[in-house]
């Protein structure tokens, strides 16, 4: 067994164990921390397969933004997780059905790759001068040429989702003082300062 196989089994075992702890930990903060550990080990698996770009994206985007955001939200919001778990049994049939569908898809994909190994080579795209092109450059060539419209559509979907989240969570509260920039810029010393003459022995 080579060194690469040892690291593969190490990363895979820690990733699977951490993924199980994500759904079994009682403390939600511990679940997010285990999720970050899953992402780290998944990035290690990507590095072993030569997909260094995907590994860095996993570290920067999912760990540096998404997982840390989850952690801050869980720590800052006062969420009653006992109340949330109280009605989870009624969603168990739907969860089991989704799990069976995902398991069937995995079996189909793995079985297809075992029965017809040439299918993976049939869907690949030829890259000119593969010895001179890095993995990141080849991925960029394919993404911004063959799949540029899908890439733009995905960006638009994320933009609409971001705007929708802002609109749904934005609440206009009347008891908060807000800045009126044009009024502040247009004010003069006469309107900004009020001179009050106080008589001796009296307060304002």
User: Residue 114: pLDDT above 80?
Assistant: no
Architecture of the structural domain at 1-79: Up-down Bundle (1.20)
Q: Which phi and psi (to 5°) does residue 197 adopt?
A: -90, 120
**pLDDT for 149:** 92
Return the domain boundaries, the chain. Answer: 1-79
pLDDT (0 to 100) of residue 100 = 93
Compute and round to an integer the Cα radius of gyration of the chain. Answer: 28
Alpha carbon 171 to its chain centroid, in Å, reads 25
Question: Does residue 64 register a pLDDT over 60?
Answer: yes
| Confidence check: pLDDT of 204 > 60 | no
Lowest model confidence (mean pLDDT) among 51-55, 159-163, 193-197? 193-197
pLDDT of residue 159: 92
Cβ-contact 18, 34 below 8 angstroms: yes
Closest Cα partner for 130 from 122, 142, 112? 142
The pLDDT of residue 29 is: 78
Contacts of 59 (CB under 8 A, 6+ apart): 39, 40, 43
Mean pLDDT highest for which of 5-9, 101-105, 142-146? 101-105
CA torsion sign for 54, 55, 59, 60 is negative
Tokens for 84, please give them: 């949330």
The mean pLDDT value for 79-103 works out to: 78
Mean pLDDT of 19-23: 88
Handedness of CA 24, 30, 33, 37 (dihedral sign): negative
User: In this predicted structure, what is the pLDDT of residue 1?
Assistant: 61
Q: What pLDDT is stored for residue 124 in this prediction?
A: 67
When mean pLDDT is compared over 41-55, 56-70, 104-118, the highest value belongs to: 41-55
**Hunting for tokens 């009050």 — which residue is that?**
196
Q: Pick 73 or 98 by higher pLDDT.
A: 98
If you average pLDDT over residues 26-30, what whole number do you get?
A: 79
- Could you report the per-residue pLDDT of 136-160, keeping only the tens digit for each? 787 788 888 888 899 899 999 989 9
């Amino acid at each position: 067994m080579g060194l690469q196989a040892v690291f593969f089994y190490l990363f895979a075992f820690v990733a699977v164990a951490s993924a199980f702890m994500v759904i079994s930990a009682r403390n939600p903060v511990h679940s997010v921390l285990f999720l970050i550990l899953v992402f780290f080990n998944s990035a290690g698996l990507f590095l072993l397969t030569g997909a260094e770009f995907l590994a860095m994206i996993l570290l920067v985007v999912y760990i540096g933004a998404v997982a840390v955001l989850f952690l801050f939200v869980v720590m800052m919001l006062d969420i009653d997780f006992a109340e949330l778990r109280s009605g989870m049994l009624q969603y168990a049939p739907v969860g089991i059905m989704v799990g069976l569908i995902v398991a069937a898809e995995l079996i189909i994909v793995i079985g297809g790759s075992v029965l017809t190994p040439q299918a993976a080579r049939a869907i690949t795209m030829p890259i000119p001068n593969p010895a001179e092109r890095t993995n990141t450059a080849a991925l960029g060539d394919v993404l911004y040429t063959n799949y540029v419209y899908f890439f733009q559509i995905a960006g638009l979907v994320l933009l609409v989702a971001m705007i929708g989240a802002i609109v749904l969570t934005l609440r206009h509260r009347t008891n908060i003082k807000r800045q009126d920039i044009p009024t502040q810029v247009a004010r003069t010393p006469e309107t900004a300062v009020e001179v009050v003459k106080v008589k001796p022995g009296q307060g304002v």
